[in-house]
Amino acid sequence: MKTKDELPKCPVATTISLIGSKWKLLIMRNLLVRPWRFNELKKDLEGISQKVLTDSLRSMEEDGIVTRTVFPEVPPHVEYSLSELGESMRPILDSMQQWGTAYKNNL
């Protein structure tokens, strides 16, 4: 997790630095529904590369937004889910969904 000194002073800029990429928002959209495995996310997020997905998930895990759970099985089973902090962003993503729907309906 970043320290306060590493984050922008502006709260909006802080939020954007944590979830502002297209892929991070779409990953969070999926994780709001249920935990996902890496390959499930890769298949569902059309156009994302393995590297970008890996880097995004690692970054979100370091920032405390995503939890990575490894199940001791053969082959290894890894699931990604939103942490409590990630879940606290649900109202933001819900508002984005509502706004996007309203925008599309007004076209």
What is the residue extent of each domain of the chain? 4-105
Share the mean pLDDT of the chain: 93
Instruction: Classify strands 66-71 and 36-37 as parallel, antiparallel or unpaired.
Output: unpaired
Starting at the earlier edge strand, list the strands of the sheet with 36-37.
36-37, 77-82, 66-71
pTM of the model: 0.88
Q: Residue 57: its pLDDT value, please?
A: 98
Question: Over the stretch 46-92, which tens digit does the pLDDT of each residue have?
Answer: 999 999 999 999 999 999 999 999 998 888 899 999 999 999 999 99
User: 4-105 has which fold?
Assistant: Arc Repressor Mutant, subunit A (1.10.10)
